[in-house]
Amino acid sequence: MMGFARRMFARVQPLARSMLLAGIVLSGCQFPTSVQSLYSSEPVIPRGGSVAIALPDALTTVQPWNVKTRATEVFVTLSHAGLMRLDRTGTPQPELLERWEANPAGTVVTATLKADLQWADAVPLTSADVVYTYQTLLSFAPTTPLLREMHVIERVEAAGPANVVFTLSAPYAPLLSLWALPVLPMHAVGTQPIETLNLVSLTVGAGPFVYANKDEAGSFHLRANPWYVRGAPYLDEIQLLHAQPSADAMRALSGNTIHIAELENPWSVQQPATITTARVAQNELMALVLNVRTQRLFSDPALRKLLRAATDVPDAVQEYMGATHIAVDTMSIPNHPFAASVPVSKTLDITPALATAGWIWDSEQKQFLREEEPLVIRLSVDQTNQAAMRLAESLATQWRGLGLTIALTPSDRQTYLKQFIPPFAYDVAIVTWANGRSSSVYADTFVYDGSNTALFDSALINPGMPDISPTLNLPGYSNPDFTALQNRTMRTYETTARAVIERQAIQLALDSAAIIPIARPVHTMAWQSGIATPEGGLVLDTPWYLFGVEQWYRTAD
């Protein structure tokens, strides 16, 4: 009811002031001190104006269940609302929801909508719209991770105009972030085939802004939604446009033609003092996967941890990947509540550690031997991935400098992928994990969950021949304590408690060194200084920077 209350205050404020002034006139025009302090303490927030956002790709087809570009993701976030919305840390926060409640088994979750919800055309938004949305998406062929994931939902039913009951086949706490999917306006979609529906020109939504028009230059204009559940935006309009290359976007920022830009690549023009920038991690993780299966070199946990300690991640990323990536030591996007990290030792004498595992330095052969077998670490990499190739060269140089024998084995993509099916003929591989949910080709964040437990799920270990299907648990990691924590995260719907358990699970898996996080690609956010919020200046250092966009306002032109 917060947004509704703010709208009501805006409507009664002029009347209240009129009554107050009338009272002042009748009392001899003496302005009471208490009234003076009341109005002087109120922040004066300018209303109106427009903000132009430049995006690295063009806006074409908008289908929230199959988001393929960053432009689509931004458009969906601005123009549509879900039961939940991810905040600046990627944590689900109620948007259309007033509350939710799960039964003790975690298999029936009841969602209660906020009162007096309306679409941008003032038509009431009810449980019927929610049921329509989820039943429609459940009817789709499971062609994306999100659509496959949704099939944990067995039934979606309305229990009155404000309640929706989700019956699940098993407890599934990631449902809360999945609820960030936009609710579709049943009355506006009508009889259009939903599979081919393009929301890019739909003027009815429930987000803070809704589509108004597309101008001759190809820019999309989104007008403020006066019925937005969190309160009518201070801005009148947000404009979305495609601006590449990055240098052009920076020049447009300098000329005040645009106010915010998402830059896909490092810029090549001087940054004016009026522009602030931040590097934002994307939802894609580059990591080392160690083959921990029996009879493999890294089935020895001591050897895995030694390799992790021997890896100077920041140095490798800085020297060989430059401005395109940031070094990470966690599985989730940095600053997400699930993020867990492992400290890396910068000074290491590997000889005693290897001797404990039976590997002895042979000064004549200049390598480590165990029962006359040389210690050779095979580092596999997809040669079509340039960033991975640069990283592989850096790591091989580091490890060789410590006396390790490294066999760098680049291969074409098909050969590279065959290593992850029986007989699993690799020691260490550089892999890229895109954690997008709504698309198979783009790592979106608007329904981000932050859980990477599938990478360590013992139920997803390939058992070997004759099963040669690929699985997500690439290293073959298995730990009953991890499985127990993982099961708890699925049953825990309270977001703070779930984050604690999830961090414990990921930390346990990271401690095993079966996977060593290395880097995430980044894009650069750049913005003008003339935009603020009631809390202060604009800070766009997260993928979810649009959370709270309804409270943005212009401080200068």
Say whether both 189 and 225 belong to one domain: no
Distance CA 411, CA 178 (A): 37
Residue at token pair 């709270």: 548
The DSSP bridge partners found for residue 92 are 86
Is the per-residue pLDDT at 501 higher than 50? yes
pLDDT tier, 7 (very low <50, low <70, confident <90, very high otherwise)? very low
Say whether both 463 and 389 belong to one domain: yes
pLDDT of residue 274: 83
Do 333 and 448 touch, CB atoms closer than 8 A?
Answer: yes
Say whether both 254 and 308 belong to one domain: no
Taking residue 136's Cβ as centre, other Cβ atoms within 10 Å add up to: 17
Q: In this structure, what DSSP letter does residue 272 have? A: P
Q: Which helix (H) or strand (E) holds 495?
A: helix 495-511
Q: In this structure, what DSSP letter does residue 330 have? A: B
Taking residue 224's Cβ as centre, other Cβ atoms within 10 Å add up to: 22
Residue at token pair 């992850």: 420
CATH value at residue 86: 3.90.76.10
pLDDT of residue 273: 79
pLDDT of residue 1: 35
The DSSP bridge partners found for residue 407 are 378
The DSSP bridge partners found for residue 124 are 118
In the chain, the N- to C-terminal Cα span, in Å, equals 33
C-alpha dihedral, 226 to 232 to 236 to 242, nearest 10°: -100
Say whether both 390 and 508 belong to one domain: yes
Distance CA 422, CA 465 (A): 6
Provide the domain limits for residue 337: 284-522
Say whether both 540 and 514 belong to one domain: no
Please report whether residue 5 resides in a domain. Answer: no
Please report whether residue 254 resides in a domain. Answer: yes
Over its C-alpha atoms, the chain yields an Rg (Å, rounded) of 27
Say whether both 170 and 219 belong to one domain: no
Please report whether residue 198 resides in a domain. Answer: no
Say whether both 318 and 438 belong to one domain: yes
CATH value at residue 62: 3.40.190.10
Tell me the per-residue pLDDT of 378-412, one tens digit each, with 9 for 90 and over: 999 999 999 999 999 999 999 999 899 999 999 99
Taking residue 217's Cβ as centre, other Cβ atoms within 10 Å add up to: 8
Q: How do 428-434 and 376-382 pair as beta strands? A: parallel
Say whether both 73 and 85 belong to one domain: no
The DSSP bridge partners found for residue 153 are 168
Please report whether residue 98 resides in a domain. Answer: yes
pLDDT tier, 30 (very low <50, low <70, confident <90, very high otherwise)? very low
pTM summary value: 0.87
pLDDT of residue 4: 29
- Final residue in a domain of this structure, among 159, 193, 227: 193
Q: How do 515-528 and 284-290 pair as beta strands? A: antiparallel
Tokens of 168: 């699940």
Say whether both 361 and 476 belong to one domain: yes
Once rounded to an integer, what is the mean pLDDT over residues 174-200? 91
Say whether both 211 and 184 belong to one domain: no
Distance CA 162, CA 113 (A): 5
Please report whether residue 200 resides in a domain. Answer: no
Please report whether residue 279 resides in a domain. Answer: no
Please report whether residue 507 resides in a domain. Answer: yes
- Final residue in a domain of this structure, among 151, 167, 193: 193
Is the per-residue pLDDT at 469 higher than 70? no
For 284-395, strand residue ranges (E) read 284-290, 325-327, 360-362, 367-370, 373-374, 376-382
Distance CA 196, CA 136 (A): 13
Is the per-residue pLDDT at 221 higher than 90? yes
The DSSP bridge partners found for residue 242 are 55
Q: How do 405-411 and 260-263 pair as beta strands? A: unpaired
Distance CA 38, CA 485 (A): 52
Once rounded to an integer, what is the mean pLDDT over residues 306-334? 88
Say whether both 92 and 168 belong to one domain: yes
Tokens of 408: 């760098």
- Residue 316, CB half-sphere, CA atoms under 13 Å: how many? 30
- Final residue in a domain of this structure, among 148, 170, 193: 193
CATH value at residue 376: 3.10.105.10
Query: Structurally, how many domains does the chain consist of?
Result: 3
Tell me the per-residue pLDDT of 224-242, one tens digit each, with 9 for 90 and over: 999 999 999 999 999 999 9
Report how far apart, in Å, the C-alpha atoms of 496 and of each of 92, 329, 469 are: 10, 22, 36
pLDDT tier, 15 (very low <50, low <70, confident <90, very high otherwise)? very low
Say whether both 171 and 309 belong to one domain: no
Please report whether residue 555 resides in a domain. Answer: yes
Q: For the chain, what percent of residues have pLDDT higher than 70? A: 86
Distance CA 396, CA 150 (A): 42
